Amino acid sequence: MTFPQLLLVRFEPSGKTVAVSVGSSLLEAALRAGIQLPATCGGQSECGECRLALLDGKVSPTTRDEIEHLSEDDRRRGIRLACCARVLSAARVHIFNQK
Q: Domain map of the chain by residue range? A: 6-95
Give the closest residue to 33 by CA, choosing from 52, 60, 58, 49.
Answer: 52
Are 11 and 93 contacting, i.e. CB atoms less than 8 angstroms apart?
Answer: yes
Confidence of residue 99 (pLDDT cuts 50, 70, 90): low
Q: How far apart are CA 81 and CA 86, in angstroms?
A: 10
Closest CA to 16 of 83, 89, 98: 98
pLDDT tens for each residue of 12-69: 999 999 999 999 999 999 999 999 999 888 889 999 999 999 999 999 999 999 999 9
CATH code of the domain occupying 6-95: 3.10.20.30
